[in-house]
Amino acid sequence: MQFVSDPSTSVKIQKMNQRVRWQDPLVVQRGIDQTRLSLDGNEDNPSEFSFMVIGDSGSGAHHTHNPQRAIAEKMLEHRDDCRFILHTGDVVYLVGSSEFYGRNFIEPYREFLVGGEQPKTIAYDRMVFNLPFLPVLGNHDYYDLPRLFGLLAQTALPIRRLLQSKIDFDVGWHGSEQGNAYARAFMDCLSLINPAKLEQHLDRHYIAQTDTGRCLQYEPKVFTRLPNRYYMFRQSGIDFFALDSNTFNAPLPLSQDTEGDERRQILQDRRVKVEQEKQEILKQLNLPNSSQSLDADYLDDLRTRLEHLEESGNDIDKQLNINSIVPVDQAQLDWLQQRLIASWHTEGVRGRVIFFHHPPYVTEATKWDQAQTLAIRCRLRQVLNRVVAAVGKQAEGRPIVDLVLNGHAHCFEYLRTGETGHGDAHINWLVCGGSGYSLRRQRPEGTDLTDSLLSARNRADHLVARSHLFIGRTGQGLEKRRPYSFARIDVKAGTPPKFVVRPLVAERYRHEWVDRWVEPFEI
């Protein structure tokens, strides 16, 4: 049985638009930009500032330790020096259910929430942050749970406890309800406001004046909501663009020829093997407790593998089920293109940062060759190519974007693209996906990523990116290391801006937390 289901692209877009009352007449009449956010009403703060980046944090159940809490405690050491926190997605695991926000989010990050001294009294849809907390949606934040599976998982829970079963799916009765839990936790869901009070709400909270119209004012300790599933804000001359990559990550269709048929058969065979391995792990996890019971770290490894197999199965299913019409959120991609071009034409803007969930470039073993990874790379390139064409000489040899931040891959990684032949050339990429859940290893193929170049005469591999730092799971047995991580980024003055990246690590080694120092670096 499939553990999770992923809503279609059209459903994701439709549901999120309904929740924010996208382009409601009252919104349009006021000239409100529902994709713009203002953090403090003053976009011209001192040019040097710092912020934190975390991702894939919802660690779920752990028998002997809580990686998410270990990271949160390290984040507290930097809270007073940072203006905001970016989250690259997957806030709650295994599915983004409202049932688990208390344990997987509110409890570990309690010091960042108003009323956090009593976290159990905070409702997931009533959170107010002391420091701006700015997330994007991950795939798990959209995942749903088949009703039958939820029913079986919960009705069997007393039996599993009686037998001291080691299996724990980290699921409740339901899933995210098509992203509803995330929306109610972080977004300004205008659909929930009494229609008679909507005008008053808009005139109270959508008061910031920007070059794109009125927009939502983010007020720490008072009103901390996001306007949409994708949005932008400006800080000290840096434009930040937050994207929902879940609606443009659909795999490219398989070709309708012999090569496509061979690829389809390979995928079908691989899907069978994935399901067989899942069943073998479930048998191990579901054994009653005995003198040969598995230790906690090994159990975590099995659950990690199970989650990876589930994700691999979803990726294969998407490739097999895609038809010639690939669902793509073109409206969002057009928005990004237009806003990037406008950013380059806006006086005083000295840099651009994009953050979203799925990384186009990564060497983590389970993500680097996923169909979704390659699809995201292709579609982002198309946008950046058009931006380069529109901006022309104005870029003066600079990359079209200064920094891209992602999650999804459960590690910390710094990569840089070379001469890709596209608008994504010479860009710095940071993967911040190691903040709490199931760390992964680097691929054995190494640090260099290539694209295949095809011509009538030959086929060659062209180097497009290189990994310069990878922090993920290493070692075996007692020597296994789990370095959970987040990043502090210091933005320097000047044009183009420089960024000092400080990877911060809480490492689990031999059943204990140990300090690990990683040298900061400038990009």
Q: How far apart are the first and last CA of the chain?
A: 46
Q: Name the stretches of the chain with pLDDT < 50.
A: 154, 156-168, 290-292, 454-458
pLDDT of residue 257: 77
Check if the beta carbon of residue 106 is closer than 8 Å to that of residue 122: yes
Strands (E), 361-509: 403-406, 412-417, 428-432, 448-454, 459-471, 481-491, 499-509
Kindly give the pairing relationship between strand 231-235 and strand 213-217.
Answer: unpaired
3-class secondary structure per residue, 3-66: CCECCCHHHHHHHHHHHCCCCCHHHHHCCEEEEEEECCCCCCCCCCEEEEEECCCCCCCCCCCC
Kindly give the pairing relationship between strand 238-242 and strand 351-355.
Answer: parallel
3-class secondary structure per residue, 300-339: HHHHHHHHHHHHHHHHHHHHHHCCCCCCCCHHHHHHHHHH
Instruction: Tell me the pTM.
Output: 0.90
Query: For 27-63, b where at least 16 C-beta lie within 10 A, e where not — what string?
Result: beeeebbbbbbbbbeebeeebebbbbbbbbbbbbebe
Check if the beta carbon of residue 492 is closer than 8 Å to that of residue 372: no
pLDDT of residue 159: 38
The full set of domains in the chain, from first to last, is 9-252+322-522 (3.60.21.10)
Distance CA 483, CA 326 (A): 38
Distance CA 266, CA 369 (A): 15
Give 363-406 as a DSSP string.
-BTTTTT-HHHHHHHHHHHHHHHHHHHHHGGGGTT--SSSEEEE
Please identify which residue in the block is written with the tokens 């003198």: 291
Q: What is the Cα gyration radius of the chain?
A: 23
pLDDT of residue 412: 98
pLDDT of residue 415: 98
| DSSP H helical ranges for 392-523 | none
SS3 assignment, position 119: helix
Distance CA 65, CA 108 (A): 12
pLDDT of residue 280: 87
